[in-house]
Structure 1
Amino acid sequence: MKRVVVQRFGGPEVLQVVEDEDPRPAPGEVVVRVLAAGVSFTDSQLRAGTYFHVPKPPFTPGYELVGVVEELGAGRSLLHIGDRVAALTVWGAYAERVCVPEAEAVEVPEDLDPAEAVCLVLPYMTAYQVLHRVANAQRGESVLVQGAAGRVGVAVLELGAAAGLRLYGTASAEDCASIERLGAVAIDFRSEDFVARAHALPGKGVDVVLDGIGGPLSLRSFRALRPGGRLVVFGHYATLSHGRKSRRGWFEWYVSTAAVAAWGLLSPRRRVLAYRVQKVHERARPLGVGGGPRDPDWYREDFRALLDLLRGGQIHPVVAERLPLSEARHAHELLEHSAEKGKLVLVPYGAPGAG
């Protein structure tokens, strides 16, 4: 089979396609023939070596997939050969075949386009869980989304509209119109002060800020909260510069994260919470505080909720381009310019839905 390998940390040029033996499932695993593997900003962080707990090269990137079960590992299984499933792999999805723990495979209706369905696995799941599992946003509350024109940002706006939230989103001037079309109030981050805009609202701040960028922006995001508000920090976009690791960005991210975590712990009326999608089974906790009980059913429940919203026409995953595995490097080169156009998807077996 073919798979993509990160030979060393760096830019898109470090991605190479190699031939390898087909994987064999261990007990409790299934072999999945990949129909669609999402290409995400998180994959570029893995490639650059800035993501938490990134494996050492060489490794295969790929955070999310939709595919067909081809082989079952030893032991009892609720899945069957031929079942279509989705999985949050964190890495490994850029391949023709992947071994996936059965417990982490979620069934996908066969009539859905695999490229659209894979959009639910990471960006829409992240959006759904930061809104409903972590921030616990309630109908009528105000939510400010940082980087609202990105894939997760757009997903938050669609999901927030479905949940009856009052939405605000920061974006560049050229993206503000698309933010407004999604029903949110757009804030041009270059020419407007989102903190001042938030404090001009009747509650003198917003109920929730969702910050997937991190760094010094998180400090200002905290200031935009009203008393009783919640800041959810769920990304570290600021650690990359032009697709490569930024040492200055890492330093600023760590310093700012420590500061905003301290503010959240010391503030009696505002909370700061952390979220990472690969820790989806761990309940929301204050930023900087470990531990917490686990709930292994969350991901499956939330994926089914997203499928219902997709069926109901309340969310609209947009696929910008479908590319073969051989063009993984090109897909990563497109990442910095394609977020506003939709999701980039690798389709190892050609036409969408093939197989």
Structure 2
Amino acid sequence: MCYGSAMSWQHVRISHFGGPEVLELVSEPTIPNPGAGEVRIKVLAAGTGFTDSFIRRGRYPDFKGPLPFTPGYDLVGVVEKAGPDVVLPREGQIVADLCVVGGYAQYAIRPARFLVPVPAGVDAAEAVCIPLAYLTAFQMLTRYRRLSPGDTILVIGASGSVGTALLDLSRHLGLKAIGTCSAANLAAVERFGGKAVDYRAGDFVDVVRKLTTGRIGGAGVDAAFDAIGGAHFNRSFACLAPGGTLIGYGSQTMAIGRENLIAAGLGLARLKLWGALSFLFRGRTALWYSITDRRLSHPEEFRTDMAALFELLRNGAIHPMVVGREPLAAAKDIHTRIDAGGFGGKIVMLPWLATQVATDK
């Protein structure tokens, strides 16, 4: 990366790990130019979510620095300038990226090889829900367990960005969904056709068993999706019907400091044990999903699945819940809301929003 034209631009920076207060909005005097294999993207929308909070705290296993850095796990933007050897994507093309960090910015320099085209006419704020939340949900629903219309799934934390994506996609695929959430988010879960369960009102394992009583083959769900991790995996596994699958895809208790690394590791060990010894648990099994690992091991699936999801979005078959559209300056407030818990969808940053408002005035 080298620096080119002199024009100030903004991004959010983290200089040390911590709470929302570590997010600072800074201006840079020159716009960077892409190097070999890179493009410069003018960011139209940056996704926010719990994973960003995880990274901000310094607890995310896949990113520990270096500091300072710009957070932001996923982005949608227009390719403004391509590096000297880049053929695709072309300049002027709208693309999406699962960047892990770098999204909270007006400009981003990104490797060209991972970028996925976004169809024309798609809302950028809805499109940025696809690379992390919807791709995670889609791959867990279609790549790890063959589910048939009429099957029942359990979504733990169903009001979060991945949770609502699971509900939205399960409705599209003809699945029945049960979703746990707080009382404040029951309506958000039911809006997607899911059966909402207040996890604070009692033992959700008992509720799930009652809701699935009379199921052919035994009470329980065909698949459960849990991002809480650690000891919580036990409860999700207990909700499975014979032959059911638990997919763990996060360690939220470790992220917020409720459990240490050892407890989180034990949770992963349980998944492996259940997976290896499923014959002891009436065919119930378990596995772990990591979107970053999956992209590295199956890059062709990453591009194929993203393209399929963008087509569903363009056709109106799925409906991402964008619950807020905010400027970069709102980063601290957004992370405070993320840390407080699920709010029925995804808050999206529009990096040029404040500039546009000022221009409109």
Instruction: Note whether the superposition's TM-score is higher than 0.5.
Output: yes
Q: Distance in 1 between matches of 2:139 and 2:264?
A: 23
Q: Does 1:74 align with 2:84?
A: yes
Query: Which one of the candidate residues 2, 19, 22 is aligned to 2:31?
Result: 22
Q: Which residue of 2 aligns with 1:345?
A: 348
Q: Distance in 2 between matches of 1:205 and 1:175?
A: 23
Q: 2:4 is matched with which residue?
A: none
The answer to whether 1:273 aligns with 2:287 is yes
Letter in 2 for 1:204: A
**In the aligned structure 1, how far is the partner of 2:322 from the partner of 2:354?**
13
1:133-144 → structure 2 map (5 Å cutoff): 133-144=143-154
On the 8 A contact 2:138/2:166 being kept in 1, the answer is yes
The Cα offsets for residues 144-192 of structure 1, whole Å up to 9 and x where unpaired, read as 1111121211111110011011211112223223323322222221224
The residue number in structure 1 matching 2:130 is: 120
TM-aligned CA deviation for residue 105 of structure 1? 0.8
Q: Does residue 3 of structure 1 match 2:3?
A: no
Q: Does 1:254 align with 2:265?
A: yes
Q: In 2, Cα distance between the equivalents of 1:226 and 1:318?
A: 30
Which residue pairs with 1:50 in the alignment? 59
2:331 corresponds to 1:328: yes
Deviation at 1:76, TM superposition (A): 4.4
Question: 1:229-271 CA distances to partner (integer Å, 9 max, x unpaired)?
Answer: 1110001111233xxxx16354432233323332322222222
Name the residue aligned to 2:164. 154
More divergent stretch after superposition (68-77 vs 229-238): 68-77
Measure, in 2, the Cα distance between the counterparts of 1:52 and 1:353.
37
1:88 aligns with 2:98: yes
CA distance in 2, matches of 1:204, 1:318: 31
What does 1:181-220 align with in structure 2 at a 5 Å threshold?
A: 181-200=191-210, 201=212, 202=215, 203-220=218-235
1:239 aligns with 2:239: no
Shift of the 306–351 alpha-carbon distance from structure 1 to 2, 3 Å rule, reads farther
CA contact (8 A) 1:72 1:81 kept: yes
Q: For the aligned residues, what is the CA RMSD? A: 2.2
Return the alpha-carbon distance in structure 2 between the equivalents of residues 206 and 218 of structure 1.
14
SS where residue 54 of structure 1 aligns? coil
TM-score in terms of structure 2 length: 0.87
Q: 1:264 to 1:250 in 2, by over 3 A?
A: same
List gaps (5 residues or longer) in structure 2: 1-8
Following superposition, the deviation at residue 328 of structure 1 comes to: 1.6
- Residue 225 (structure 1) aligned to one of 228, 232, 240: 240
For residues 76 and 16 of structure 1, the distance between their equivalents in structure 2, rounded to whole angstroms, comes to 33
Q: CA deviation at 1:212?
A: 1.4
Work out the CA distance in 1 between the residues paired with 2:37 and 2:166.
34
Gaps of 5+ in 1: 283-293
Letter in 1 for 2:162: V
1:325, CA displacement in angstroms? Answer: 1.8
Measured after TM superposition, the shift of residue 351 of structure 1 is 7.2
Look up the equivalent residue of 1:104 and give its one-letter code: F
- How far off its partner does 1:323 sit? 2.0
Q: Using the alignment, how far apart are the partners of 2:169 and 2:355 within structure 1?
A: 25
TM-score w.r.t. the length of structure 1 is 0.88
User: What whole-Å deviation, never above 9, does each CA across 1:20-45 have from its counterpart, x for those lacking one?
Assistant: 34333222211111111111110000
8 Å CA contact 2:39–2:83 kept in 1: the answer is yes
| Distance in structure 2 (CA, Å) of the matches to 1:334 and 1:94 | 17
**Amino acid corresponding to residue 284 of structure 2 in structure 1:** R
* Aligned partners of 1:229 and 1:271 also within 8 Å: yes
| Local SS of the residue matching 1:227 | strand
What letter matches 2:249 in structure 1?
F
Q: Percent same amino acid among aligned pairs?
A: 42
Q: Which of 109, 114, 118 is 1:104 aligned to?
A: 114
Which AA in structure 1 matches 2:248?
A: V
C-alpha distance in structure 1 between counterparts of 2:131 and 2:355, whole Å: 17
Shift of 1:338: 7.1
116-125 or 184-193, larger mean C-alpha shift: 184-193
- CA drift of 1:113 comes to 1.8
Instruction: Indicate how the Cα distance of structure 1 residues 145 and 341 shifts in structure 2: closer, same or farther if over 3 A, else same.
Output: closer
Deviation at 1:64, TM superposition (A): 0.5
Q: Which moved more, 1:17-26 or 1:273-282?
A: 17-26
| C-alpha contact (below 8 Å) 1:25/1:31 kept by paired residues | yes
Other structure's SS at 1:280 match: helix
